[in-house]
Amino acid sequence: MALKHISINLFSRFRRLTLVLLVVLAIFGNQALRAQTRTFHPNNAFGEGEFTKFKVYYTSMLTGNVTAGEATIKVESQKRSFNNKEVWKITGEGHSKGAFNWFFKVRDRFESYVDKQAIIPYLFVRRTREGGYIKDDEVYFYHDRQLATSRTATKKIPHNVHDFVSALFFMRTLNLSDFDKDSSYYLDFILDDSVYVSKIKYLGTENITTVLGQFRCLKFAPMLATGKVFADAYPMHVWVTDDANHLPILAETKVVVGSVKMELISFENLRNPLAARLKKPDE
């Protein structure tokens, strides 16, 4: 029973960590971009066939590193069109591994259909299987009318609102020149029929070493909120590459004993050279 309790708690944090990781690149945002529905936005950050894989694990002095699961994200062109617009199909999947499958099996899949020109979503598909919990949903975005419809609700939405998958890829396309004076940034996204706000605090640069080598990274502490009410603390840290790709390298959240981490372990078909990598694993 103890291991089952740990598994449920770990994957609850896994979900939060995945969510924060996918929205954390809101640091590249600009409030002016939210003022009206976009029809075009330049993208030089990602393209056809990009694939990334992450491992999720618990770490402490007592246990060392205990792998709980993996998550992947891939980008594909999609023949299906929305409003006669070509779209990217961006698919994120997460699953538990090893002993965790016996106590709290996770099989999650999320799809976002994103306008190739405007980098805004038209459809978000959710397929969640976590222990005995099942959640399926489809959210359609009608940006011109500022409405989103799911299986259970129709919601008023801000201009250019995102699902949490599309948020990552839009923010990766932006630059770092629009920092405000206190280095805080905001992004709206919809999940479970609620509109959330993400606030991200920039903490500076740091070199991070992982299984893929050493990287020059930008460090952030994100918070999530419903409406405009934020938590008092920044319980997570996220590191992204300080280059044109803006790849998430590592995310970490503290628990009572130890921490839960999500670490990039492989990638394919990046659009730009990985200039932020300072050393490869064998150097």
C-alpha to C-alpha distance for 181 and 172, rounded to whole angstroms: 21
Q: What's residue 274's pLDDT?
A: 97
pLDDT at 23 (0 to 100) = 44
Q: How far is CA 72 from CA 86, 110, 165, in A?
A: 23, 10, 12
Q: What is the DSSP string of 106-173?
A: EEEEEEEEEETTT--EEEEEEEEEETTEEEEEEEEEEGGGTEEE-SS-EEE--TT-B-HHHHHHHHHT
Q: Which of 9, 60, 25, 57 is nearest to 222 (CA)?
A: 25
Q: Read off the pLDDT of residues 251-273 as tens digits, 9 standing for 90 and up.
A: 888 766 677 889 999 999 999 99
User: What is the model's pLDDT at position 74?
Assistant: 98
Phi-psi region of 259 (alpha: psi -120 to 50; beta: other; left: phi over 0): beta
pLDDT at 41: 87
Amino acid at residue number 72: T
Could you tell me the residue ranges of all domains in the chain? 2-279
pLDDT at 2: 41
Distance (Å, whole) CA 131 – CA 243: 38
Structure pTM? 0.83
Distance between CA atoms of residues 211 and 261, nearest Å: 13
Residues pairing with 74 in the sheet: 51, 91
Beta-carbon count within 10 A of 206 CB:
14
Instruction: Tell me which residue of 18, 143, 200, 178 sits closest to 93, measured CA to CA.
Output: 18
Q: Which residues of 89-110 are buried (b: 16+ CB within 10 A; e: fewer)?
A: bbbbbbbbeeebeebbbbebeb
Structural contact between residues 198 and 189, judged by C-beta atoms closer than 8 angstroms:
yes
Tens-digit pLDDT profile for the chain (283 aa)? 444 444 444 445 455 555 545 444 433 334 434 458 888 888 989 999 999 999 988 877 766 678 889 999 999 998 888 888 999 999 999 999 988 888 889 999 999 999 999 999 999 999 999 899 999 999 999 999 999 999 999 999 999 999 989 988 877 787 665 445 567 777 788 988 988 887 777 888 999 999 999 999 988 887 765 555 444 455 788 898 999 999 989 988 876 667 788 999 999 999 999 999 999 998 7
Q: How far is it, in rounded angstroms, from Cα 159 to Cα 7?
A: 38
SS3 of 30, please? coil
∠ CA 276-282-283, nearest 5°, is 60
